[in-house]
Structure 1
Amino acid sequence: MVRRKIITYNVKINMEMISLINNKNEHTSIKEVLWKNHKAIRFSAGGYEALMVPEVGANIVELKNVFKGVSILRSPNDDLEFEKFRERPQVYGLPLLFPPNRIQDGKFKVDHKVYQFPINEPKNHNYIHGFVKNDKWEITRKEIISGDQVEIEAVFNFDKEHSFYKYLPHEFQFKLLYNLSSEGLKQTTSIINLSSEKMPIGIGYHTAFNVPFNPESKDEDYRLIVSVGKRWVQDERNLPTKEILDLTEEENQYVNKGIIPLGCKIESHYTLENIEVNGSEFRGAIIEDRSKNMRVVYEMGKEYKHIVIWNDMGDKNYVCIEPQTCVINAPNVNLDQNITGFKTLEPKDIWSETARIYVKDIK
């Protein structure tokens, strides 16, 4: 009798283990899908699910924690809104900006070489947000790793055949590597200069977060914490002057209690610095849902030295958190490059940096 009980108990444990393994594998997948009648890649791992649209900047236009019921990034709702996404991908998902934000009159100079970009913000006579966010990318790798991680790699090759080459006469390659796991979405962005001359680079993201990200919560339940240092003063064209100010008492709440990210207009430009959060060093932004004791965390690598916070007048249930390697209009800001973040990439050199988005309970 005792022996039979032991055997039955062991079989039960083994069946539970098999069930756990099967459930784990069910949540790890890569699928090519039609989304809003467009080709996309849906991938899942570690309780997270993401969707990439290669033909529009390889944008991660959906990111969810399915176990917690959290929809993190702003997505187009229907076919009509997909066309808006195609025209303005900077207000959906995780769009790459190259260069980030605005260039005054579309013009700048590096050594003796003058660059003249087209004016696509006529109201302020600026060039804005770059072009790779709208372009088609190639998926070069899709892989499930160890059963509980997924990696997707997308590449954008820029050469003389591209229509923008006449404005930016350098061949280069962008590479986006996304790793999805129980630790969230890790993003590695790389660019290699394939031309024979040094090329100017400035990289940023216009990441659009849902607020609220939990359908049961209210706007006032949310707080935005950002590791800002000082504020760039901007002129009437939203271009930074050379003036950099200490945070006001209100702005200091970004690094303390946080601010409500909706309800009033936010459009500010800051330096990005490390702060202490729960006793640990942190660089990036946190969106807290205090009614659910939950956070969406956006960690940023040290190459991201500046940040813009923008909420589209504060009445549209999203906030864009925009890490940038350089200040807005960096090549035209007459300050040391250690301050502006503007840099050039030598032939065959590679620039690379990471960021990560994940959901965490507030303890």
Structure 2
Amino acid sequence: MANELARIKEEIWKGYKSIRFSAGGYEALMIIDVGANIIELKDSIRGLSLLRTPVNNLDFEVFKAAPQVYGLPVLFPPNRIEDGTFKVEDKTYKFPINETKLNNYIHGFIKNEKWKISRSEIIQGEKVEIEAVFDFNKEHEFYKYFPQEFQFKLVYNLSSSGLRQTISIINLSNEKMPMGIGFHTAFNIPFHPKSVEKDYRLIASIDKRWEQDARNLPTGKILELTEDEKQYVNKGINPLDKELESHYIMKNININGKEFHGAIIEDTSKGIRLIYEMGNDYKHMVIWNDLGGSNYVCVEPQTCAINAPNINLEDSVTGFKTLRPNETWREECRIYIEDL
């Protein structure tokens, strides 16, 4: 019976190589050919659809052009780089401008790339583990902008404890490598089929807000939370009630007597909540809801601030990192449902 509960199946999803896996009452779908994006995550027992998934042809066309607004896409680097340019010591990186209106480089390139499944296994009949890798080398067209070899690895473990994500990156070049990682995680609001928007509250472990300019870049000034924003760490706010697009510094909060780092989306009418636990290396968060009218909210953990290498503050504040040759960075997140 246990073996029937944990399954792995390769399939073609709308023309893309994909892998569907289920265990512990959860089901996930990874689009291997588009950034190893977990495009679907369901709580099969409760009948919940947690992540925003393309459901019609219009959605699919948007997904092809902008995969970052669906599922669980990885961003490297996260969000925006001013003028596409930054320096690390005496080396200058110049990325192509792909946000022409604001003259920024945005959201990185590996979210669109074809990854490879390096391992897939059912563990003791009740857990599934899928490992996907992306190897970047001189053969890649983006190497002219980022001339350093590296390997990304994503490991997803699915069980009755939800979806655990472990990401790692190893610097395979012979010099320091700049590193900033984020996830543009898009959650359905509502995620319960019999709930409505007003039933939902978003709680986030935030402490300060980055002031941003007209190009959505941090000015370097760090602000106290407004009275409205303080509700994120108290009773929560409705994630679709008004337009949200703000960039925060994270700080642990107390949830049920325990330290918590991440975000929680509560369905108050059904007495359940979605927990998005983030590893402590994710020190920054963006909350964005696409003007509030599209039935989803993106809760975006980031290792560094937007445009971090260009902010004139200490790396300990901005979160900007470099990896030494052969150094590996690793961190985890987890998504699961629990009763209130």
The answer to whether TM tops 0.5 is yes
Q: 1:178 aligns with which of 137, 143, 156?
A: 156
Question: 1:130 and 2:108 equivalent?
Answer: yes
Q: 1:340 aligns with which of 277, 301, 318?
A: 318
Unaligned runs of 5+ in 2: none
Q: 1:35 aligns with which of 13, 22, 43?
A: 13
2:173 is paired with a residue of what secondary structure?
A: coil
Amino acid at match of 2:157: N
CA–CA separation in structure 2 for the residues paired with 1:294 and 1:159: 45
Question: 1:313 and 2:298 equivalent?
Answer: no
Q: 1:285 aligns with which of 241, 263, 267?
A: 263
Amino acid at match of 1:68: R
Instruction: For residues 321-359 of structure 1, give each alpha carbon's deviation from its aligned partner in whole angstroms, at most 9, with x where no partner exists.
Output: 000000000000000000000010000000000000000
Looking at secondary structure, tell me which structure has more helix per residue: 1
1:302 Cα shift?
A: 0.5
Instruction: For residues 95-127 of structure 1, give each alpha carbon's deviation from its aligned partner in whole angstroms, at most 9, with x where no partner exists.
Output: 000000000000001100000000000010000
Q: Is the 8 A contact 2:5 2:125 kept in 1?
A: no
Question: 1:217 and 2:162 equivalent?
Answer: no
TM-score by length of 1: 0.93
Amino acid at match of 2:303: T
Alignment of 1:234-245 (within 5 A): 234-245=212-223
* Off by >3 Å, runs of 4+ in structure 1: none
TM-score by length of 2: 0.99
Alignment of 1:233-312 (within 5 A): 233-312=211-290
- Match of residue 49 from structure 1: 27
- Match of residue 123 from structure 2: 145
Q: Is the 8 A contact 1:199 1:344 kept in 2?
A: yes
1:80 Cα shift?
A: 4.5
Q: How many residues align?
A: 340
1:40 Cα shift?
A: 1.1
Q: Is the 8 A contact 1:36 1:79 kept in 2?
A: no
Alignment of 1:101-116 (within 5 A): 101-116=79-94
Amino acid at match of 1:339: V
Amino acid at match of 1:126: N
1:189 is paired with a residue of what secondary structure?
A: strand
2:46 is paired with a residue of what secondary structure?
A: coil
- Match of residue 330 from structure 2: 352
1:36 Cα shift?
A: 2.1
CA–CA separation in structure 2 for the residues paired with 1:115 and 1:34: 37
1:133 is paired with a residue of what secondary structure?
A: helix
C-alpha RMSD over aligned residues: 0.8
Question: 1:187 and 2:161 equivalent?
Answer: no
Deviates more, 1:297-306 or 1:80-89: 80-89
Of structures 1 and 2, the larger Rg is shown by: 1
Instruction: For residues 287-323 of structure 1, give each alpha carbon's deviation from its aligned partner in whole angstroms, at most 9, with x where no partner exists.
Output: 0000000001000001000000000000000000000
